[in-house]
């Protein structure tokens, strides 16, 4: 359903029984076109897979483009908009915030462009021409949306459509994490498609370690772990352009679309991994940072203060390099 996370953050930690009376419980399943894993400590199994699946199905029914009956599809097919539920509204409010903070680099109204470039719910017939892009850009821009107080999402043009793939998976992680907290669970990892939220230390008092993935070292090789990070609490998400793309002759067409130009991103960025307090925030900003050059993105993160980020980018000579914010550097252990 949601954004296919391209630079997955891999869990590389093993949990052991400690002399605490607690043990690890694991729930695994499939949602939103990807796998999910929940690991938590407790003195009994507080959480059932059925409960988790019910939570995720409710989010799907609201914001999945692949569910014909979903609220997002009702909105997209409407002429003037429609009422949306509280979850949908929370994601839209956050989207407005990130759109404003990033000067439009993050924009949920890119749905027509995503579809035109072959990454939407419908099959692509042909690659769009410049004239097609210019027409579609007339429907792009979050200034064409208004969220009313009664959760009525209004569109200012009939053809405006939205795609929440760049933020809703992070939101899903947060909803599941918050559910665990309501059950009194204070040590857990929630992961959906590589998007993580972590809470609490392991019983031995150590923080969990995660692996930060990068592109293959050689042409045709598999992605590899570039660094290990120690995360005591917070969320980590990643966006990148080396997993999900089309090949048009010699040109790689990434699924990440620049809402200002209408064309797939074609800059030095390869991937961005973001650390934030919650997964929805991290998930939204990792896409926006991908649209910036490295210097601009690093300055943005350092100035914002509540984000940390790790960037993998391509140098002018074709080589691959990385850099990171000061706060993220403190998380790296290897």
The answer to which of 201-210, 237-246, 317-326 has the lowest mean pLDDT is 237-246
How many CA atoms within 13 Å lie on the side-chain side of 283? 30
- Between 27 and 218, where is the model more confident? 27
The answer to which of 44-58, 102-116, 189-203, 252-266 has the lowest mean pLDDT is 252-266
Its pTM stands at: 0.89
CA 89-193-179 angle, 5° bins: 55
How many whole angstroms separate alpha carbon 164 and alpha carbon 35?
18
How many whole angstroms separate alpha carbon 253 and alpha carbon 65?
21
Asked if pLDDT for residue 260 goes beyond 90, the answer is yes
- Residue 222: pLDDT band by 50, 70, 90 thresholds? low
- Residue 245: pLDDT band by 50, 70, 90 thresholds? low
pLDDT at 225: 82
Q: Which domains does the chain have, with CATH numbers?
A: 57-155 (1.10.3980.10)
Asked if pLDDT for residue 32 goes beyond 80, the answer is yes
């Amino acid at each position: 359903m949601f954004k296919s996370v391209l630079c997955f953050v891999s869990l590389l930690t093993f949990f052991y029984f400690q002399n605490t009376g607690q043990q690890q419980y694991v729930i695994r399943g499939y949602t939103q076109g990807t796998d999910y894993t929940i690991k938590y400590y407790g003195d009994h199994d507080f959480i059932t897979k059925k409960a988790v699946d019910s939570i995720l199905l409710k989010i799907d029914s609201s914001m999945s483009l692949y569910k014909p009956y979903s609220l997002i599809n009702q909105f997209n097919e409407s002429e003037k908009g429609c009422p949306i539920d509280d979850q949908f509204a929370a994601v839209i409010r956050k989207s407005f915030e990130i759109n404003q903070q990033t000067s439009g680099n993050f924009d949920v109204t890119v749905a027509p462009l995503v579809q035109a470039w072959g990454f939407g719910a419908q099959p692509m017939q042909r690659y769009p021409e410049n004239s097609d892009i210019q027409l579609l850009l007339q429907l792009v821009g979050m200034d064409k949306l208004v969220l009313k107080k009664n959760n009525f999402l209004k569109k200012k043009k009939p053809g405006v459509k939205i795609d929440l793939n760049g933020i809703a998976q992070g939101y899903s992680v947060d909803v599941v994490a918050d559910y665990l907290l309501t059950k009194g669970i204070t040590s857990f990892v929630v992961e959906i498609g590589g998007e993580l939220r972590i809470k609490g230390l392991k019983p031995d008092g150590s923080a969990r370690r995660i692996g930060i993935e990068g592109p293959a070292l050689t042409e045709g090789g598999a992605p590899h772990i570039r660094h290990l990070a120690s995360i005591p609490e917070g969320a980590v998400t990643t966006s990148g352009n080396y997993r999900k793309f089309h090949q048009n002759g010699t040109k790689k067409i990434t699924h990440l679309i620049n809402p200002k130009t209408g064309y797939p991103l074609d800059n030095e960025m390869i991937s961005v991994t973001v650390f934030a307090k919650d997964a929805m925030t991290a998930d939204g900003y990792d896409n926006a940072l991908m649209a910036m050059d490295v210097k601009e993105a690093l300055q943005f993160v350092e100035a914002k203060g509540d984000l940390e980020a790790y960037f993998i980018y391509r140098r002018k000579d074709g080589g691959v390099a990385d850099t990171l914010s000061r706060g993220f550097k403190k998380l790296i252990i290897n």
